[in-house]
Structure 1
Amino acid sequence: MTETSIAMGPYSAVVTSRGGALRELQHNGRDLVVGFGAGGRIPDYRGVICAPWPNRLADGAYEYAGTAFQAGINEPERGAALHGLATDQVWDVRETTNSSVTLGCTVEAGPDYPADLDLEVSYTLAADGLHCSVRAANTGGTAGPYGVCPHPYLVAGPAPLDEWTLELPASEYLAVTPDRLLPVGMKQVAGGSFDFRAERRLGPVKIDHAFTGITSDDSKTARVRVHDPSGTGVELEWGAEWAWVQIHTADKPTKPDRLGLAVEPMTCPPDAFNSGTDLIHLQPGDTHTAAWAIRALG
């Protein structure tokens, strides 16, 4: 496996060829994401690129252009194909500088997916944080459905997650079944435990949901901010190409759990290959690019 270390000013990062993942991101030596070891499997999909679909695909089954496809079930307890076809791949390093790295991998058409894709992710450190982008190009002769998300777990500071505050500019969330976490229908956050439009303490709330109805600024940029009681924090921003964001409080059945807050901008919601909601259709020769950034606060 290949690892690339990059740095710029107070920021440093480590990117691994495993899943094209961000393994480490620090600001003045402080962790901004939950990291993982240099070897072995990546726990909890930390920092990977999820494509050509994000989140869960129910039963791994879908139809596209009149043809049935069956993806492998990698979440057997929920009967789902989780996070696409690129997370277990070894991505190749395509370009590096002292402050940036670009990696790529391919998805080949087969019984699980109709199209040939070239995927490329770029990580660039600047004075104001880590800037990232992911590009998909349809290199084959057949159209394919497409969705994508990065999968970082943010770390606000040294206090437990329950003591952090969250600002999440989203007015709706996708309700899911309690057993399989599959979509049921849209709900408003107003007045409920998922309403973080005004910054407030997370407390014991458990979240593993996709949010939309996102408020952005004049440049069509949206931001999630998480703060620690000590005054430190972290921010993830994304553009209009991401209509959704998955938030997960990283709850585990055994300790340690709630180590960080997963903030995953998504181009489409869970199971979009079946619902069609906000699904991108990549025709032969088409490309799609989406960007996000992570920076320290405080």
Structure 2
Amino acid sequence: MRPPSGQQLTISSTVGGVRLRATVTEVAAGLRELVLGDVDLVEPFREDASPAKGQGIVLAPWGGRVRDGRWTLDGAPQQLALTEPARGNASHGLLRYASYRVLEHGDASVLLQATIHPQPGFPFLLDTFVRYEVDESGLTVTHEAVNAGPTRAPWACGAHPYLALGATPASALTLTVPAASALLTDERLLPVRTVAVDDADAPAGADLRAGRRVSELDLDLGLADVAHVDGIAVSTLLDDAGRGVRLWQDEAFGYAVVFTPRDFPGVDGVHQAVAVEPMSAPADALNSGDGLVWLEPGETWTGRWGIAPVGLV
């Protein structure tokens, strides 16, 4: 039987003499697993299953949601398919269920490509690329978009990894994210205004700069003003001994989403999980313009993020 997420592409290297293995899927260029020795660094899903709650997928050419699937291009209304009908939104871009082509596959890296063709609500031609690479430092993911059409095109990108430290429960893990602002949302999870994470109006748990116990969090929250130091912003998920994972994102990813569902269907049963999603733009960027990049014909955009083990080797 063929896997629901398509071809399974395994790459591996070593970190401190311990094998680091990643499996990438043909569908959505998703990260199905990242394992150091026998310790999962992201929430995995089985080869015979589909990813749950956006697990590991690439979000392009927008992340989050577009209100009513509508936006305006040079005065002309555009209507995207409503892929989140319960909330009336176009959600998570156009490649969530797309098959990528494998351009290169070596022992330690894999390069995938998908083309976004002109379609209702998005009349542009974009070539997109995702490279996964593992080495002594961990996993590096490089996203690239090239405007292959004759007119300028909007672009935003994100990823949806759920961080993990093996089977360590949420009650024993602390999450740190260096973001100074939170995006307040309405009942449809669409942003309405931005506040400081320590503002009285900010959601409980929005200020993650000093770390919060994951089990205390109930978030599906966009974050802005992510602090980059020497071009890199670092979030961590650590146990009380300081072991865990770090997720880094370069300056192309100026936003993040933190999602802490308590009903996550893990391979060993339902539990609380934590996604830290690097984003180049917030939700509804096609309408707000925040973080949105406009690529001229032939222009290329590149962004990188990655995951590294902490204290495990």
| 1:182 maps to 2:190 | yes
The offset of 1:297, in angstroms, is: 1.2
2:265 and 2:13 map into 1 onto residues whose CA distance is 37
RMSD value, Cα:
1.8
Corresponding residue for residue 250 of structure 2: 239
Taking structure 1 as the reference length, the TM-score comes to: 0.94
| 1:75 maps to 2:84 | yes
| 1:3 maps to 2:8 | yes
Give, as a single letter, the amino acid of the residue that structure 2 aligns with 1:233: G
Give, as a single letter, the amino acid of the residue that structure 2 aligns with 1:5: T
Taking structure 2 as the reference length, the TM-score comes to: 0.90
Query: Against the structure 1 CA distance between its residues 183 and 258, is the aligned structure 2 distance closer, same or farther, given a 3 Å change threshold?
Result: farther
Corresponding residue for residue 212 of structure 1: 224
| 1:286 maps to 2:299 | yes
Give, as a single letter, the amino acid of the residue that structure 1 aligns with 2:300: T
The offset of 1:205, in angstroms, is: 1.9
Corresponding residue for residue 56 of structure 1: 65
Correspondence list, 1:81-230, <5 A: 81-177=90-186, 179-190=187-198, 193-217=205-229, 219-229=230-240
Query: Against the structure 1 CA distance between its residues 258 and 282, is the aligned structure 2 distance closer, same or farther, given a 3 Å change threshold?
Result: farther
Give, as a single letter, the amino acid of the residue that structure 2 aligns with 1:185: R
Q: Deviations over 1:79-109 (max 9, x none)?
A: 1111100111011100011000000111011
1:215 and 1:274 map into 2 onto residues whose CA distance is 25
Give, as a single letter, the amino acid of the residue that structure 2 aligns with 1:208: D
1:289 and 1:190 map into 2 onto residues whose CA distance is 32
Q: Deviations over 1:134-154 (max 9, x none)?
A: 101110112221100011010
SS of equivalent to 1:13: strand
The offset of 1:220, in angstroms, is: 1.5
The offset of 1:290, in angstroms, is: 0.3
2:104 and 2:265 map into 1 onto residues whose CA distance is 40
Query: Against the structure 1 CA distance between its residues 157 and 231, is the aligned structure 2 distance closer, same or farther, given a 3 Å change threshold?
Result: farther
Give, as a single letter, the amino acid of the residue that structure 2 aligns with 1:150: A
CA contact (8 A) 2:214 2:260 kept: no
Query: Against the structure 1 CA distance between its residues 41 and 68, is the aligned structure 2 distance closer, same or farther, given a 3 Å change threshold?
Result: farther
Query: Against the structure 1 CA distance between its residues 7 and 245, is the aligned structure 2 distance closer, same or farther, given a 3 Å change threshold?
Result: same
SS of equivalent to 1:44: coil
The offset of 1:293, in angstroms, is: 0.9
CA contact (8 A) 2:138 2:309 kept: yes
Q: Deviations over 1:105-152 (max 9, x none)?
A: 110112120210001000000111001111011101122211000110
2:241 and 2:263 map into 1 onto residues whose CA distance is 25
Corresponding residue for residue 24 of structure 2: 15
1:230 and 1:215 map into 2 onto residues whose CA distance is 25
Q: Deviations over 1:2-56 (max 9, x none)?
A: 1111110121011110111111101112101111122453221111110000011
| 1:269 maps to 2:272 | no
CA contact (8 A) 1:168 1:197 kept: yes
CA contact (8 A) 2:205 2:219 kept: no
2:219 and 2:176 map into 1 onto residues whose CA distance is 14
1:252 and 1:259 map into 2 onto residues whose CA distance is 6
Unaligned stretches of 5+ in structure 1? none
1:231 and 1:249 map into 2 onto residues whose CA distance is 20
CA contact (8 A) 1:157 1:232 kept: no
Give, as a single letter, the amino acid of the residue that structure 1 aligns with 2:214: L
Give aligned pairs, total. 296
Q: Percent identity?
A: 33
The offset of 1:203, in angstroms, is: 3.1
